[in-house]
Structure formats: structure tokens, C-alpha cells
Amino acid sequence: MNTTTIFINVFTFGCLIFAIIKDRIKTKQALTVSLKSFFRIIPSVLIIIIFIGLLLGFIPQSQISKIVGEQAGFGGVLIVALLGAFLHIPSLISFPLAASLLKSGASVTSVAVFITTLTMIGVVTLPLEIKELGKKMALMRNGISFVIAIIIGIIMGVFL
Amino acid sequence: MKDYVKEKGTQRKGMKRDAIILGITLIITIALLSIFPDKQEAVITTSWNFFIEMILILPAVMVLMGLFSVFVPKEMVVRYLGKAAGIKAVFLGILMGSLPTGPLYVAFPMASALIKKGAKISCIIAFISAWACIKIPQEVVELQFLGPKFMAARLILTIIFVAIMGILIERLIEWSDKKKQTNLRR
């Protein structure tokens, strides 16, 4: 167990104690919600974990770094940005996936861009966004987010 | 109530779909590993390590999400954001977006209600964007897998750029609305 794991669990435990002191009934309600969402997300977690195993086991590192690594240049960044925009996987499990890519030679820039477009841009949810907020606002938000994701990625690539 | 039933239905359908995809993934994996036995060890060790790492934090993350969703109700978010103004509104939008939980499609109707209540567009854009990509439980998982430096850098940059985007979109929409009005007057 590393420090992050311990920190997260202690922090959650603290919040839980605080919640119990504040409102016992609400806490029970919250734990039911937690349990339900836990079982809801477990299949997707397992899918991603198996996928990571296959990815790292079968595709040689040189291949991954050729597509999304430093030498891939801007084209590689653009590919992962588009991939992130179109894919619809829960953001929680995008982090292990991103970590595995980083481990096998992807650049910091492309990993940061991937996470950012994956979370901020939803091509799948775009119709709903247009319906609720109007075409102008929805398209502008998604479009500018795409540019922002690439800028954030490039800045992170320079500093990290 | 009707919405609630509908949501439950789609959730059940989603779970069924996930279970089917998991089954297919397992079958493909077993097939691949029996064709290439030399890859077995690498694939199983990698998956197992990621599984352990995930299972150590997932219950905590889920408890955090559950606590937030019950103790920070939607109405509270709408109440606070409805009357906020200025640059403060943008940062309040980011803060509120990062607090509660739920998928992105929950945020759209809320945002639409907030606009009708008179909230600023910059605030709404910041709210939706933060809802999408800055979540406390989510940041915790990012910290675990990508480390403190990566997580902090991405968090800070995202907050800055989301604030800029909110203000930019507000200006653009105001500008285009004004243009439309002058065109109508002619």
C-alpha cells in the first residue's frame, strides 16, 4: 500500500465519521448510493483492467511510443484528442488506462490531452447538451474545450 | 417520479450492456492467451497489479461520491449559482461543479434551469466544464495513478483555462446577440 492509498482511505474514513455525527439517516442513505454505484461501475473497471493487460502484453512499447510518444509529434496528440472526444468511458477508469499508456512510452502531453478531452468533450452527450443549452453554446463549449485540452497538454509536456 | 423510473430503466440496460461486453472481453482474452501462451504471464501480472491498485481505492472513492450526492443536494447548487455575479461567479461555478456527483447529462438540465434563473453564461460554462472534468473523487483516482505532480498541474491548468473559456464564450454570445438585434432593427 502506498501513501496515496492510505491518505485516500483515511480521508474518506474521516468524512464518514463526520457524516455519521452530523446525520445518521443521511449517511445510511449515502452508503446505499455508494454500494449501488460500486456495483454499477465494477464491470467497466474489469473491462478496462483486462484491456490494459492485453494492451501492455501484446503491443510492444516501441509501437505505443511511435503512435502517442514524443516522436509522434503533433499528429499523435491530435489522434488521442479525437479519441478522447469520441470515446465514452467513465472518467474514473480513464486514469488507470492513462497510467498504463504513460508507462509504456506515451508522452505526458498526449496522456493529459486524452484525459482532458475524454472528460470535457462528449460527442455522445452532445445532442442532449444542444437540446438543453442551445446549439451555439454547446458547440462553442465543446469546440473551445478541444483547443484548451491540447494547450493544457502542451504546457504539461513542457513542465513535467 | 417518471424521470426516476426512466433513469432506473436506462441504468439497468447499461449494466446489462456492461456485463455483456465484460463477457466478450473475457472470451477474447482467454482465446488470445491460449493462442499465445508466452504472453500469459505479462498480461495476467499487469491486469492483476492494476486490479489491486483499483480495488484499494475504489470503495473509498464510491463512499466519497455517495456522501457528496446525499449531503450536497442539487437544489443547493442551483440556489448558490443562481444569484452569483462577476468573476466570483466563474470560480463559484467551478467549485460547485466539482462538488456533487452524477454523470454529465444531469448537469445539462441543471445548467438550463440556472440560465432561466438569470445566472451568467460564464458561470454556467465553468460549472458544466468543472462538472465534467474536476471532481474530488475523480482527482483522488488521478492522484493514485498519475502522481501528485501530474494531478496538480492538470488541475491548476484546467481551472485557469475553464475560467478563461467561460468568459470568452459569454463575450461571444453577447456579441452575436447584439449583432442580431441591430440587424433586426434595420
With CB atoms and an 8 Å threshold, state whether B108 touches A128. Answer: yes
Closest to A87 (Cα-Cα) out of A49, A56, A52, A125: A125
Question: Closest chain A residue to B109 measured between Cα atoms?
Answer: A132
CA distance A21 to A42: 30
Which one, of A142, A148, A128, lies nearest residue B104 by Cα? A128
What is the spatial distance between Cα A119 and Cα B131, in angstroms, rounded to a whole number? 9
- Cα end-to-end span (Å), chain A: 25
Residue pLDDT, tens place only, A7-40: 889 999 999 999 999 999 999 999 999 999 899 8
User: What are the grid coordinates assigned to B31, written together?
Assistant: 482465446
Q: Is the dihedral of CA B179, B181, B182, B184 positive or negative?
A: positive
Q: Which residues of A4-13 are buried (b: 16+ CB within 10 A; e: fewer)?
A: bbeebbeebe
In this predicted structure, the answer to whether residue B16 has a pLDDT above a threshold of 90 is: no
Which pLDDT score is estimated for B88? 85
Residue B1 has pLDDT above 50, yes or no: no
Containing A62, the helix (H) or strand (E) segment is helix A61-68
List, for residues B114-172, the tens digit of each pLDDT value.
Answer: 888 888 899 999 999 999 988 888 898 999 999 999 999 999 999 999 999 999 999 99
Determine the pLDDT at residue B157. 96
Question: From the CA of A94, how many Å to the nearest CA of chain B?
Answer: 9
- Cα B78 to Cα B160: distance, rounded to the nearest angstrom: 23
- What are the pLDDT digits (tens) for B61-103? 999 889 988 888 777 788 888 777 778 888 899 988 888 667 7
pTM given for the model: 0.87
Query: What local confidence, expressed as pLDDT, does residue A72 receive?
Result: 81
* Prediction ipTM score: 0.89
Residue of B146, B156, B162, B178 to mutate when probing chain A, most A C-beta within 10 A: B146
**Between B22, B71, B115, which is nearest A30 by CB?**
B71
